Structure 1
Amino acid sequence: MLRAAHAHCQSLQEALVSLREGGLEQVAQWGRHLAAILPVGGRLLAGGNGGSAAQAQHLTAELVGRYQRERPAYSAIALHADTSSLTAIGNDYGFEELYARQVAAHGRPGDVLMLLSTSGRSPNLLAAADTGRAAGLRVWAMTGPRPNPLAFRADEALCIGSGSTATVQESHLVALHLLCESFDHEVGVPGDELPDGAASVDGDGAASGGGVVAPYPPP
């Protein structure tokens, strides 16, 4: 058990080094982009499967609520969180259309669609990416190692070069926290003190990650 724990930590450490060397500017740019569109009525749509769904919902919660310090609420929708829509779409159209139909309903040109997948091969996320780009959304992906279909179908992707699903998911969480830090900085959130009563908040910063940026120009 101890050997496995050391191997897990080593995998995470290597991913963090990779993120610092190859992914920070990409994450910071994503934060800048969201800071340019959300305050003027744009929105973020996010989705994933399993643990990646939890990561997507974590991100939207940080934007609708707050990350570390007080600021206005911004529009961010976790596409898996509406269970009635989710089950109706799955029942009537199939699991592959789970996200694509919601993107068609909620997405507007100029919005951002963030898709998270450790494999980058989930059919429902691939369909969502195609629908999003066709509708004029900016599609971002966080995935596991390249090459994978989701990275190529997104406008931009942050790919975690690890064979461990756990490391990929943990790295995604760190990247999402860094994205929130960039966003808050760009929208002018004060960095000197927390709001009253918020000595401890859920969005607590970073721990680890690892990535290789994989841009994909829109057609």
Structure 2
Amino acid sequence: MDAKCSQTHEEILSSLTLRYPELVSCDTEVRFVVELLAECFRKGGKLLVCGNGGSAADSEHVVGELVKSFRFKRSVDGAFLEAYREINGEEAPSWLEGALPAISLVSQTAFTTAFSNDEAAVGVFSQQVYCYGAPGDVLLAISCSGNSANVVEAAKVARARGVKVVGLTGYKESDLSRRSDVCIRVPRNETFQVQELHLPVYHCLCAAVEAEFFGGGE
């Protein structure tokens, strides 16, 4: 974690387009997604994330920034600290941090290999979304082309489960962008260049949402 961040939610959002002017075309969508995620977490929902290859690594990265502290020091809920003290007869460990619930669907190796072998590789993320997804949750579906079949199928299941779909793609319209509640289409189409712009976008999303819940906290 960096030294404690003092930026506000708005400063974090504004800094994205200051550092990456080409992402001004995504500003409206980025702001919308931040509010969508904040609403999801406020209501006790969770974020599911999936993608292939480099986007699978990005899925893990996103979850890492949400489940532990990213740029802000995160306090643990006071009611939990009281319950821990009462049940265990001691103070909660100092290394516990506030968390934002997120699950990477790419990391469950035993399940994904079994399902791919027994059923259909195209359905690995869909089955997990069906299992974990609930109304009010959000699926962040990452695909540089926007046409990755297993990611698109996950989006289909998500919408049927009442899960909001956020697409993160390249600039071209795609199957995923058409099936998303909101799609952040970065202004590139070649895979590695799309991935280079996905990183600052999801860092901004994570930092801005973190600021909503932990900004100003000790």
TM-score normalised according to structure 2 size = 0.77
Distance 1:149 1:59 in 2: 23
| 2:20 is equivalent to residue 16 of structure 1 | yes
Q: Pick from 45, 48, 54: which aligns with 1:45?
A: 48
Q: Is the partner of 2:20 in helix, strand or coil?
A: helix
Please give the residue correspondences for 1:1-219 in structure 2 after superposition, counting only pairs within 5 Å. 16-19=20-23, 21-71=24-74, 72-190=98-216
SS in 2 for 1:141: strand
Larger helix percent: 2
Query: What is the Cα deviation at residue 87 of structure 1?
Result: 0.8
Would the aligned equivalents of 1:23 and 1:158 in 2 still touch at CA under 8 Å? yes
Equivalent position amino acid for 2:27 in 1: L
Residues 32 and 186 in structure 1, CA contact (< 8 A), matched pair in contact too: no
Q: Let me know the Cα RMSD of the aligned residues.
A: 1.9
Equivalenced residue count is: 178
Contact 2:72–2:214 at 8 Å: present in 1 too? no
Distance 1:148 1:118 in 2: 10
User: Which digits, 9 at most, give the CA deviation of each residue in 1:121-179, with x for residues without a partner?
Assistant: 11101110000001100000001122211111111101122132111001111100110
Q: TM-score, normalised by structure 1?
A: 0.76
**Any unmatched runs of 5+ in structure 2?**
1-16, 75-97
Give every structure 1 segment of 4 or more consecutive aligned residues whose post-TM-superposition deviation is greater than 6 Å.
none
The separation in 1 between residues aligned to 2:131 and 2:137, in whole angstroms, is: 12
Q: Percent of aligned positions with the same letter in both sequences? A: 36
Structure 1 residues not aligned, in runs of 5+: 1-12, 196-219
Q: Distance in 2 between matches of 1:124 and 1:57?
A: 17
